[in-house]
Chains A and B, each alone.
Chain A
Amino acid sequence: MASLPPIDLPSNATGAGAFDAPAGVEGNPLFEYLLRLGDDSLVLGQRLSEWCGHAPSVEVDLSLANMALDLIGQATLFLDYAGEVEGKGRDGDSLAFHRDVLDFRCCWLVEQPNGDFARTMARQCLFSTWQHLLFGRLAGSADERIAAIAAKAVKEVAYHRELASEWVIRLGDGTEESRRRMADGLDWTWRFVAELFEMDPLAGFMAEKGIGTDLAAFRADYDAAVRAVIEQATLPPPPDQRPILGGRRGHHSEHLGHLLATMQFLPRTYPDARW
């Protein structure tokens, strides 16, 4: 079985061009770090909520809305805290609704359109497995607020991970059609996994401070967990793909701008209004 994409990204990514060159540690690193955490949850929550009313069954509709709600809740906590840390009078809402693409710090994986249900579940399994391992570690963060948010969220995300993994297995080992769709879903999302583990200077700095964590430390656990799900789904492991990077520095997919245009329309159209 082929392994997941290699993670020695600095050698892979540096010199690859301005688009995905890692940024240095500038400005307020804690603020930047909180944006990464908050924006991942916000953008994925927004995506999942697009399913509401359109899922394959009422039960699935309920489960997707549940996950979306958890993610919006996490985003609120992280972004409100980011606003406090920044100290310029912004709160979670102003950060969510009044930043443009270049200032968003989410990864490419969460921006991806829902596609069919298989692609949505591929995205969820790959992301929630990572977020679960990440929050498990951040629950011991030297920053008490981050530790408290992660300790609460890790329980929610354990359920997201389980639910999505079960769907990957069910669809991979379901019918011919579901198997083909599940393989396509994994193929679409696979190139975005490496970004989850990218240790750029900011991530390294936060890990050194004990606020963040060394992402490489749980890469092997992640690979093993994802591999086990794909095996149980009786699917061949997706071939390695060139990692796509840039989200953590504001260089995103084309999809993010459209997502923001929808999400931000009211507060931007009526900047003086309170809701």
Chain B
Amino acid sequence: MYTTELQKTASLGATEDPERLAAFEARVAADEFIEPKDWMPEAYRRTLTRQISQHAHSEIVGMLPEGNWIGRAPSLRRKAILLAKVQDEAGHGLYLYSAAETLGTSREEMIEALHSGKAKYSTIFNYPTLTWADIGAIGWLVDGAAIMNQVPLQRTSYGPYARAMVRVCKEESFHQRQGYEIMMVLAAGTPDQKRMAQDALNRWWWPSLMMFGPPDADSPNTAQSMRWRIKRETNDELRQKFVDITVPQADALGLSVPDPALRWDKARGHYDYGEIDWEEFYAVVRGEGPVAKERIAARRQAWEDGAWVRDAAAAHARKHGRREAA
């Protein structure tokens, strides 16, 4: 899963040493990786910490809508695949928290920021999973959008983030295929199954397009992030790529994309698509998504209910002088 950069990028302070800043920018421009012990501008550190931790939070919160269907997966094979997939998301969360920690913020601080509502996560996970087809649609559309976002991040300027993305991308591409395969079976199935599949596409289409973030015109920090190679393509470029790839996939399934304005523009060589409801997007960013309260409540409860376990593991490790194994 991927989270768009949802908060304002800190502006570059005037306090940075101009010589070091110039040397840093030259390295970035030469496509060198910046490593944890290297000098970096504070604004770069803050922006990356925020982006990577939001990405990590999205992986962890993203386990909930899919986890909702593990117990009800309709076959043993589907159950095993979904368990493995959600487990991959947990693994992604883990490497991303570790990558963010190399920038100097602890995992506990990041989790605290998530639970207090200070840190954001991808808006997409604030929508509910109602039927089994939602598991297909999430794999196909949400992981499909994630791949579109994450492939360029394998070349992002911060080394630990870029390397984490290499592994994440491989796994996401498996997730996307398993999602599409679920949709293929449903779309070719009974009328009830086909109805589930179409309804899932109807509900997940627009939120998936919103995953790429606000239009470029309303994304004033894109230029700085591109300059620092934290970001490598703009929101609108990635969104267009996603639409162009996904529409023919929907056609192949025999499902209709819920956008009356959708049409192939021969001159541009791209699909034109309708207006995205940005009011909805900003409302969900503010925490007003249909199941936003449930998601955060579930994360807080897991964390609070687990406190005694983490405390016990730490106490045991102290008593026995061993490294904490929890």
Enumerate chain A interface residues (CB-CB to B < 8 A).
Answer: 42, 46, 49-50, 52-62, 65-66, 68-69, 72-73, 75-76, 79, 92-93, 96-97, 116-117, 166, 169-171, 173-175, 177-178, 181, 262-263, 265-267, 270, 272-275
Contacts and interface: CB of A to CB of B under 8 A. Distances in A.
Interface stretch (B12-20, B47-55, B83-91, B158-166): B83-91
Contacts of B73: 266
Contacts, number: 143
6 contacts: A55-B302, A65-B90, A76-B80, A174-B316, A181-B308, A266-B73
A117 to B, nearest CB: 5
A178 B312 contact: yes
B72 A54 contact: no
Taking residues whose C-beta sits less than 8 angstroms from the other chain, chain B's interface range is 35 or more
Contact of B193 (A62, A170, A273): A273
A69 B88 CA distance: 12
Contact of A265 (B63, B72, B80): B72
A266 B60 contact: no
B83 A61 contact: no
A56 B310 contact: yes
B60 to A, nearest CB: 7
Given A49-B79, A69-B80, A73-B80, A178 B309 contact: yes
B319 A173 contact: yes
Contacts of B301: 54
Most A C-beta atoms less than 10 A away, residue of B60, B72, B309, B310: B309
A39 to B, nearest CB: 12
Given A58-B94, A93-B77, A178-B311, 10 more contacts: A53-B60, A54-B298, A54-B302, A62-B87, A62-B91, A170-B325, A175-B308, A270-B193, A272-B190, A275-B74
B78 interface: yes
Contact of B312 (A79, A97, A171): A171
A174 B313 contact: yes
A275 B310 contact: no
Nearest to A54: B302
A266 B74 contact: yes
Given A60-B326, A62-B91, A69 B74 contact: no
Interface string B310-322: 1111011001000
B298 to A, nearest CB: 7
Interface of B: 60, 63-64, 67, 70-80, 83-84, 86-87, 90-91, 93-94, 97, 132, 185, 189-190, 192-193, 298, 301-302, 305-313, 315-316, 319, 325-326
B83 A49 contact: yes
Contacts of A42: 76
Contact of B76 (A96, A272, A273): A96
Choose among A49, A62, A69 the residue with the greatest number of B CB atoms under 10 Å from its CB.
Answer: A49
A177 B308 contact: yes
Contact of A177 (B94, B192, B306, B312): B312
A220 B111 CA distance: 46
Contacts of B298: 53-54
A266 B79 CA distance: 12
A69 to B, nearest CB: 5
Contact of A117 (B70, B93, B190, B309): B309
